Amino acid sequence: MLAFVLRRILQAAIVMLAVGLIAFSLFRFVGDPVVFMLGQDATPEDRARMTEMLGLDQPFYVQYWDYLARAVRGEFGMSLRQLRPVSTLMVERLPATLELSFVAALFALAVGIPMGVYTALRRNSWLSTVFLTVSLIGVSLPTFLIGILLILVFAVQLGWLPSFGRGETVAIGWWTTGLLTTSGLKALILPAITLGLFQMTLIMRLVRSEMLEVLRTDYIKFARARGLSDRAVHFGHALKNTLVPVITITGLQLGAIIAFAIITETVFQWPGMGLLFIQSVTFADVPVMGAYLMLIALFFVIINLVVDLLYYAVDPRLRIDRAAAAGH
Amino acid sequence: MKRFALAAALLAATLIAVPPADAKTFRWASQGDILTMDPHSQNEALNNGVLADVYETLVTRDKQLKVVPLLAVSWTQPKPTVWRFVLRKDVKFHDGTPFTADDVVFSMQRAQAPSSNFQIYTQGIDKVRKVDDYTVEIETKGPNPVLLDQLTELRIMSKAWAEKNKVTAPQNFIQKEETYSARNANGTGPYMLKSRETDVRTVFVANPNWWGKREGNVTEVIYTPVKSDATRVAALLSGELDFVLDPPPQDIARLKSGGKIKILEGNENRTIFLGMDQHRDELLYSDVKGKNPFKDLRVRQAVYYAIDEAAIQKNVMRGLALPTGSIVAPQVRGYSKELDKRLPHDSAKAKQLLAEAGYPNGFEVTLDCPNNRYINDERICQAVAGMLAQVGIRVKLNAMPRATYFPKIQKFDTSMYLLGWGVPTFDALYSLQSLARTVGPGGDGNFNLGRYSNPQMDARVERIKTETDRAVRDRIIGEALAIHNQDVAHVPLHHQVIPWAMKANVDAVHRADNRVTMNWVTVK
C-alpha cells in the first residue's frame, strides 16, 4: 500500500515538473511584459535595464530553475502587472473560484440527477424530449455564448440579476464569501448555471443510460416480482446502483470545472483565479501565469490521486493484481 | 449659558453631519484595471488619467488642452535654463498635512529614481531646489521648450507620508514586499481613494477640503474593470454602469439607436500610419532579393497612392476616424492644416510609379500588425493588404497581440508595419523626435522602426528641441513636417476617433488623450 502511494506521489511530482517546464517554454511566445511596464516611450536602455532586473534575458530553463528554486522556499515572486506577491493574489482569488466551482457542481448534481432519472423512467413523455433537447444545447453551445445569452435575458431584458461581478462579500478570516449576502447570492446564479450547464447535461445523460441499464437487470425484475412499490424499486434499488459511476465522474469533473472557470469568470468578470490568469496573459505577467498553471496542475493531480487511492481501497482486484505482479 | 452651549453644539453637529444635498455616484468601466496607485510607477494611459484626479501636478491642461496653473500659481524664467514656480498656498494633502516646496522637490526626485517609469517626463531636468516654502526652481540641462508639458505628468505626493510609509522610491520589482503606495494614495486632488480591490473595484470619494472649484457633481466614483466586451455593454444597458470608456466599435450604432445610451465621440491625438524599412539593403520579409524597394521614393509613393483611406474610414472604422496626410494630429502644437493633405487614391498612378521603379509586376512583402492595440488594427491591415494587392504589391499579413508585436518591431525586425502614435506632451517634437529623427541615443528615433534618415530632418529636430522662440519653433516644425511628407517617411492613414458610451443622464468632457476627468463629470 505504502509503495503504491509513494509511486503515485512520485508520478504526480513528475507531472507537475513537466507542466511547469512546458509552461515556461511557452511563456516566451506570450510576449514581453517590459513593454507594458515602461510604456511605449521608454528608451532601449531602460528596457534593457528592466529586462535584466527581472531576469527575462535568461533562457527559459534558467528562468524555470530559478522559479522552482524559489517556489520550493514558498516564494512565487511578484506580479509584474499588480506589483504584489503572487501568493497573496492567489489566496485572494482562490475563494471566488472555489465557491463558484462548488456551487456549479452542486447545481449540476441537483438538477442533472432528477432529470436523468425522469428521462430514464418516462422515456417517451414530451418532457423527456424537452430535457434531452435542452441537454443537447448545453453540450453543443460554447460556454461564453451561454453566459452572454443569460446576461442578455436576465440582466438586460428582465433586470433581475447583475451582469457582472461577485456582489458584496463577507470576509471570514482570509476567506471571502458571497454566500452570506443577497447581492452575493444573486451574482452567483448566472455564472454558476453557465459553468455547471455542461456538467449537468453530462450527469443527466450518464444517469439516464445507467438507469436504463440497471432497470433491465434481473434483480430489478425480482424486486418488482416481490411486489415492491415503483418508488422503492426506482429510488431504493435502481438509482442507488447508478450513483457509483456518477460520483466518480463528478469528482473527476470537479478539476475540469475549476480549470474551465476561466471562460465563465471572464464573461462575468468574476474575480477568481481564471480571470486573474486571463488578465495576466494579456500583460505577459509570467510569475502569475506560472503559479496559476502549477496550481491547476496540482488540483488535477490531487483529485486523481485521491480517486486512485479510493479505487485501491474499494476494489480488491487492484491489490491482488499488484501482489501478483510483484511476485513475477 | 448652558442653553447657548447646547445650541452651539447642535448647530456644529448639523453643520458637520449634514450629508451632501444630493450624493451622486458615478460607476464606470473599461477593459483593464488601474494598475497601481503609485504616481511614479506605471506610465500607462488609464493609470495616468485616474491618478490625475487624486494626485495633482504643478501645471495641468484645461478642456482645450492648454497648459494652465494647478499647484503652481505662476512661473517665470529668470534664465533660459532656470524656471521658478510660485506654489499655491493653503493646499492640504488628503491626510491633512500642508503642501509645501519640500513635497515638490521630493516628488521630482522620486520621479527621477532608477525604479521610476516616468523618466521620459523628467528628461532634461537637472536640479530641483527649494527657494522658500512656496517657491521652487527647476534647472534644466539646456533650454527646454517642452518643460511645462512634461510637468503635466509629474504628480506631487507628500514627502512626510512617503517617508512614514517607506515609499520614498517607486516600486522596485525585485523586492518581495508590496509597496504601500501601490494600494494607498495621498495626494492633493479633488478625489480621495476610499477602497481598492484590484481587478474588482476601486472607489473614490470627493475630497471635502479640496482647494479648487468643483465643475462636476460626483461625490463617489466606482471604477470596475470588465474584461469581456459583451458584458461591459450589457452592464451599461442594464444600468449597472453609468459610463464605458471603450465600447466595442461594432456596437456603437446599436447603442445609439436605443435612446438610453449617449455616445460622445472625440478626436484622439493618436495617428495611425504605416512604416517601411528604409535602411536595410535587402528586406527581411520580401521576395525582392539584393535590393530594398522601399528605399525608392517612388515605391513609397506608390504605397501611398494605392491606399483608399476614405474606404477604410467608411467600411473598417465606420466613421470613427479622421483621414489625414499629417503625422501629427490637429491638437498637437506645430500641426499645420496646409501640410495635412493626403496623396489622392490613384491605383493607376501607383502602378505607373512601381513600373518606373522597376517593379512592373509588383513584389511580395510581409506587413506586421498588432491585433489588440488600436481600434480595428488588424482589420485596417487586412484592408491595406487588399488595396496594395490591386497595384501588385502582394502583402502577407502577420497579425499578433501587442505583447509580442512591440518587442518584435522594436528590434527593427520588420519590413512593413502599422503603428499608432499618441502625443502626451501635445507637442510635435514628441512625434518628430521618436518617429523621424535618425536612430540615436536619448530617445532619438526610438520608434523610427523603418530607420528613415535624412540630415535635413535631423538638423530641424535638433533645433526644435532647444528653440524657445515660439514663432521660430513653429516654423521649423512646419519645415520638418513638410520634409516628412515629401520623403513619405511614413504613410499616414487617420487619427483615431474615440467613442465613449454613457447613460443619457451623464455629462463628461472628452479629452484628446482619452482621459476621463472625474471632476468634469456631471450625473443628472
pLDDT tens-digit series, residues A262-301 = 889 988 989 888 888 888 887 778 788 888 888 888 888 8
Mutate which: B35, B199, B406, B447, vs A, most A CBs within 10 A = B199
Residue B84 near residue B75 (C-beta atoms within 8 A) = yes
Name the amino acid, one letter, at B499.
Answer: P
Check residue A322 and give its pLDDT. Answer: 53
Kindly state the average pLDDT of the residues B247-268: 86
Residue A311 burial (CB count, 10 A): 12
Distance from CA of B117 to the nearest CA of A (A): 6
Check residue A326 and give its pLDDT. Answer: 46
Residue B520 near residue B243 (C-beta atoms within 8 A) = no
Whether the CB of B150 is below 8 Å from some CB of chain A: the reply is: no
* Res. B109: pLDDT tops 80: yes
- H or E segment at A33? helix A33-38
Check residue B40 and give its pLDDT. Answer: 87
- H or E segment at B434? helix B428-435
Kindly state the average pLDDT of the residues A203-211: 87
Q: How sure is the predictor about B17, in pLDDT bands with cuts at 50, 70 and 90?
A: very low
Distances (CA, A) of A320 to A2, A4, A244, A307, A309: 15, 13, 22, 18, 15
* Res. B166: pLDDT tops 50: yes
> Any idea how long chain A is?
328
Do the Cβ atoms of A43 and B446 come within 8 Å?
yes
3-class DSSP assignment, residue B69: strand
> Rounded to 5 degrees, what are φ and ψ at B78?
-60, -35
Helix A182-215, helix A126-140: angle, nearest 10: 120
* Residue B85 to residue B261: CA distance in whole angstroms: 44
* Res. A175: pLDDT tops 90: no
Distances (CA, A) of A307 to A13, A130, A204, B9, B74: 17, 34, 22, 70, 74
- Beta-strand pair A170-172/B363-370: unpaired
The mean pLDDT value of chain B amounts to 88
Q: What percent of chain B has pLDDT over 90?
A: 59
Q: What is the pLDDT of residues A61-118, one digit of tens each?
A: 787 888 788 777 777 777 777 777 888 888 888 899 999 999 998 998 899 888 888 8
The beta-carbon neighbor of B117 closest among A37, A81, A82 is A37
Do the Cβ atoms of B173 and A85 come within 8 Å?
no
A166, A172, A174, A180: CA torsion to nearest 10 = -10
DSSP-assigned letter for residue B469: -
Do the Cβ atoms of B372 and A83 come within 8 Å?
no
> Rounded to 5 degrees, what are φ and ψ at A88?
-60, -45
Residue B415 near residue B365 (C-beta atoms within 8 A) = yes
* Residue B522 to residue B88: CA distance in whole angstroms: 27
* Residue B151 to residue B122: CA distance in whole angstroms: 8
* Residue A305 to residue B203: CA distance in whole angstroms: 44
Kindly state the average pLDDT of the residues B283-307: 94
Residue A66 near residue A55 (C-beta atoms within 8 A) = yes
Handedness of CA A285, A287, A290, A295 (dihedral sign): negative
Q: CA B15, B19, B24 angle in degrees (round to 5)? A: 145
Do the Cβ atoms of A31 and B407 come within 8 Å?
yes
* Res. B273: pLDDT tops 80: yes
* Residue B424 to residue A276: CA distance in whole angstroms: 30
Residue A8 near residue A267 (C-beta atoms within 8 A) = no
Mutate which: A70, A164, A273, A292, vs B, most B CBs within 10 A = A164
Contacts of A156 in chain B (CB under 8 A): 234, 237-238
Do the Cβ atoms of A279 and B32 come within 8 Å?
yes
Whether the CB of B258 is below 8 Å from some CB of chain A: the reply is: no
- Beta-strand pair B25-30/B321-323: unpaired
Do the Cβ atoms of A41 and B238 come within 8 Å?
no
Kindly state the average pLDDT of the residues A40-47: 68
Q: What is the pLDDT of residues B288-299, one digit of tens each?
A: 999 999 999 999
Check residue B1 and give its pLDDT. Answer: 42
* Residue A84 to residue A88: CA distance in whole angstroms: 7
Whether the CB of B399 is below 8 Å from some CB of chain A: the reply is: no
> Rounded to 5 degrees, what are φ and ψ at A228?
-70, 155
Whether the CB of B43 is below 8 Å from some CB of chain A: the reply is: yes
Highest mean pLDDT range out of A136-145, A164-173, A197-206, A317-326? A197-206
Check residue B174 and give its pLDDT. Answer: 54
Check residue B2 and give its pLDDT. Answer: 47
* Res. B503: pLDDT tops 70: yes
User: Please, is B220 exposed, middle or buried when counting C-beta atoms within 10 Å of its C-beta (0-12, 13-18, 19+)?
Assistant: middle
Grid coordinates in use for B138?
527647476
Mutate which: B231, B270, B368, B444, vs A, most A CBs within 10 A = B231
Do the Cβ atoms of B173 and A54 come within 8 Å?
yes
Check residue B176 and give its pLDDT. Answer: 56
* Res. B513: pLDDT tops 90: no
Check residue B14 and give its pLDDT. Answer: 44
Kindly state the average pLDDT of the residues A14-43: 74
What part of B 215-254 touches A (C-beta under 8 Å)?
Answer: 224-228, 230-232, 234-235, 237-240
Count contacts between A and B (CB, < 8 Å): 152
Check residue A38 and give its pLDDT. Answer: 66
Whether the CB of A276 is below 8 Å from some CB of chain B: the reply is: yes
Residue B149 near residue B427 (C-beta atoms within 8 A) = yes
Matching residue, cell 491625438: B269
DSSP-assigned letter for residue B456: H
Matching residue, cell 454613457: B502
* Residue A34 to residue A41: CA distance in whole angstroms: 12
Q: How sure is the predictor about B276, in pLDDT bands with cuts at 50, 70 and 90?
A: very high
- H or E segment at B111? helix B101-112
Output B22 or A231, whichever has higher pLDDT.
A231
- H or E segment at B272? strand B261-276
Check residue B175 and give its pLDDT. Answer: 57
Kindly state the average pLDDT of the residues B195-218: 90
> Rounded to 5 degrees, what are φ and ψ at A7?
-60, -45
User: Please, is B346 exposed, middle or buried when counting C-beta atoms within 10 Å of its C-beta (0-12, 13-18, 19+)?
Assistant: middle
Do the Cβ atoms of B240 and A162 come within 8 Å?
yes
ipTM over 0.90: no
Helical spans, DSSP H, in B165-287: 229-237, 252-258
The beta-carbon neighbor of A29 closest among B182, B404, B443 is B404
Whether the CB of A283 is below 8 Å from some CB of chain B: the reply is: yes
Residue A47 burial (CB count, 10 A): 19
Check residue A41 and give its pLDDT. Answer: 61
Check residue B21 and give its pLDDT. Answer: 52
Mutate which: A150, A269, A288, vs B, most B CBs within 10 A = A269
Distances (CA, A) of B296 to B281, B345, B355, B384: 11, 19, 12, 20
* Residue B218 to residue B293: CA distance in whole angstroms: 57
Return the beta strands (E) in B436-515 as ranges.
490-503, 506-507
Contacts of B446 in chain A (CB under 8 A): 41-44
* Residue A175 to residue A92: CA distance in whole angstroms: 8
* Residue A182 to residue A191: CA distance in whole angstroms: 15
Check residue B33 and give its pLDDT. Answer: 83
Q: Could you tell me which chain B residue has the CA closest to the CA of A286?
A: B403
- H or E segment at B395? strand B393-400
What part of A 86-125 touches B (C-beta under 8 Å)?
Answer: 88-89
Q: Could you tell me which chain A residue has the CA closest to the CA of B434?
A: A41
Helices (H) and strands (E) in chain B, counts: 16, 19
Q: What percent of chain A has pLDDT over 90?
A: 3
Q: How sure is the predictor about B346, in pLDDT bands with cuts at 50, 70 and 90?
A: very high
b (16+ CB within 10 A) / e for A278-296: bbbbbbbbbbbbbbbbbbb
* Residue A67 to residue A76: CA distance in whole angstroms: 7
Whether the CB of A171 is below 8 Å from some CB of chain B: the reply is: no
3-class DSSP assignment, residue B222: strand
Do the Cβ atoms of B176 and A85 come within 8 Å?
yes
* Residue B55 to residue A61: CA distance in whole angstroms: 42
Kindly state the average pLDDT of the residues B282-286: 92
Q: Of B20-24, B165-169, B330-334, B383-387, give the lowest mean pLDDT range.
A: B20-24
> Rounded to 5 degrees, what are φ and ψ at A272?
-105, -170
Residue A255 burial (CB count, 10 A): 19
Whether the CB of B80 is below 8 Å from some CB of chain A: the reply is: no
3-class DSSP assignment, residue B219: coil
Kindly state the average pLDDT of the residues B53-78: 92
Q: Of A26-30, B356-360, B383-387, give the lowest mean pLDDT range.
A: A26-30
Grid coordinates in use for B38?
503609485
Residues 6+ apart with CB under 8 A from B313: B319, B321, B322, B323, B494
Check residue B15 and give its pLDDT. Answer: 44
Whether the CB of B468 is below 8 Å from some CB of chain A: the reply is: no
What number of CA atoms fall less than 13 Å from residue B292's CA on the CB side?
19
